[in-house]
Each structure stands twice: as structure tokens, then as C-alpha cells.
Amino acid sequence: MTAIVTVLLGSLIDMSKPGHYIHWGFLQISLSNLIVVCLMVVTFVAAIAIPYKRKARNRS
Amino acid sequence: MSIRDRSVAPTTPILEEDAAMWTAKIRRSLVSTLPPERLIPDRQPSYLSSWIYMFGALTLAALSIIVVTGVLLSLEGPTWWHLSSVGLFVNSLHLWSVELFFFFMVVHLWGKFFMAAWRGNRALTWMTGVITLLASVGAALTGYVSQTNFDSQWIATQAKDGLNSVGVGAFFNVLNFGQMLMWHIILLPLAVIAITVLHVLLVRKHGIVPPIELTEANQGGEA
């Protein structure tokens, strides 16, 4: 089971090779950091946009 | 009768001659600053009905996992976390709870920044949050260089150049493993936990910042 998980993850992210970097002018960011920043932005927008449903509570 | 008396009656009457004692003064000051019903409130304002208000609590939850897994790692040591399957698991929990801690803290920071959460005499609450973030960055760095593997050696040699360039390498030497471990498991956790407790107490004292529109409406259109 552990071997299968290792192979599956290894096929997605090869940790034995140098990381991918994105260059934009003088800016440079690793792909992994860019993905995390994008996830944070998506989470932030979702936290504001998705309505928060409250349970109806008996206030008596 | 469903509505209970929410006031908290003192259990022991204070003698008149004891009222001037420093213990009584401190107790009165603490209770007047942060009454128990404000410290642990039963209800929160309706404007908290948004997911954006969850991220402070999520950050605290991640911090508690970091502390528990960190204590386990301290008890068992490097051989355990490098070689045993349980040790590897706890080590991974420690790492991923740190990742989530920063993730939630940054979303919390963005939310509070756009709410201008320092309004209403909450500047100290904001600044304690800023200091917690800075102390957490230090805790994370010293953690990365305390892993006792090639990764930690690589990070230490890279960080050494950066820290020397700003002139702090003489007293904060990332190549000194013992010093980094002490910073990571004693000094910085104490700082992060103590300032976080202060941050939460200040939030409880001043209450969660109301939305800008609500404040403007209460003040007749003035910000």
C-alpha cells in the first residue's frame, strides 16, 4: 500500500529533480509557492463569496 | 424558566481591610478589563455569519496541532522521526500543520486588512497579530534548520549568507545547530504562544471588529 502511494505521488511530483521556477521580469517564484498563493487567493474569495448558512435557533 | 441569570456572583465576599491589598487590586482590574461573560461569550454578533471570520480559529487549531506534535518530536528525538513510521507520520503532521497555520494566518490577515480591523481602539490587537506572524516566520526557519537532514544543512548554508548580509549572523548563527534548536523549541514557541494568547484576549476585550458599513451607519455616515 505504501509503495503504491509512493509511486502515485512520485508520478505527480518528482522530488529528485530541481523545482520549477516562473520568471516574470525581475520577479521569480517557484511553481509550488505560486500554487499555494493561488490557493490562498481562491480560499479568500470563496470565504467572502460563499454564503454562511446559520441554523435556525430557538431563542425562547 | 429558560432564561438564566448570566451574571456571575463572587463566591467569597471580600473583607473591607483586604480591599487595598495588591491581590484584590489586580483581581478587580482583571475582572473589570475582561469580565468572564466577555472572555467566554455565549453568543456572537450577527455580522460574524461569514466564512472569513473562521480563519482566526482555524489558525489557532493548526497552532495547537503544531504544539502537540512538536512536544512528541521533542520527547522522542531525531532517530525516531527519521526512521520509525510513527515518527515520520508525526513529523509530517508537524510540517503540514505549519503549512496550514501559515495558510490560514495569511487568509486571516487579508480578511482583517480589508476590514481595517485596527479600527475602534484595536491597534494593539493588530500589532500583536503582526508580531505573531514575524515570530512564526522565525519559528519556521529555525524548524527547517533543525530537521537534521541534508535539507536542513542546505537551508542553513543559504540562510547564513542572507542573515550575514543584514549583520545578525554573529548572534543568530543558523549553522549553530544547538542554538537553532533552542530558538525553535523554547524561545520562539514561547513567544508565539504568549503573543497569541494576548492577541486572543485583546480580541475578547474589544470584541470582533464590526463591518465598516455598520460603523458608518452607527456614526451617521462618518467613518
Chain A residue numbers with beta carbons less than 8 Å from the beta carbon of B45 are none
Nearest CA in chain B to A41: B107
Shortest Cα distance from B55 to chain A (angstroms)? 9
Q: ipTM for the complex?
A: 0.81
Tell which wins on pLDDT, A13 or B121: B121
Which of the four pLDDT bands, split at 50, 70 and 90, describes residue B7?
A: low
Tell which wins on pLDDT, B199 or A59: B199
Q: Which of B2, B106, B110 sits opposite A60 (nearest CB)?
A: B2
Nearest CA in chain A to B103: A40
pLDDT digits (tens, 9 = 90+) for B86-100: 999 999 999 999 999
Which of the four pLDDT bands, split at 50, 70 and 90, describes residue B223?
A: very low
Contact criterion met (CB < 8 Å) for B103 and A50: no
Tell which wins on pLDDT, B216 or B90: B90
Contact criterion met (CB < 8 Å) for B103 and A60: no
HEC profile of chain B:
CCCCCCCCCCCCCCCHHHCCCHHHHHHHHHHHHCCHHHHCCCCCCHHHCCHHHHHHHHHHHHHHHHHHHHHHHHHHCHHHHHHCHHHHHHHHHHHHHHHHHHHHHHHHHHHHHHCCCCCCCCHHHHHHHHHHHHHHHHHHHHHHCCCCCHHHHHHHHHHHHHHHHCCCCCCCCCCCHHHHHHHHHHHHHHHHHHHHHHHHHHHHHHCCCCCHHHHHHHCCCCC
pLDDT digits (tens, 9 = 90+) for B141-161: 999 999 999 999 999 999 999
Q: What is the mean pLDDT of residues B118-126?
A: 95
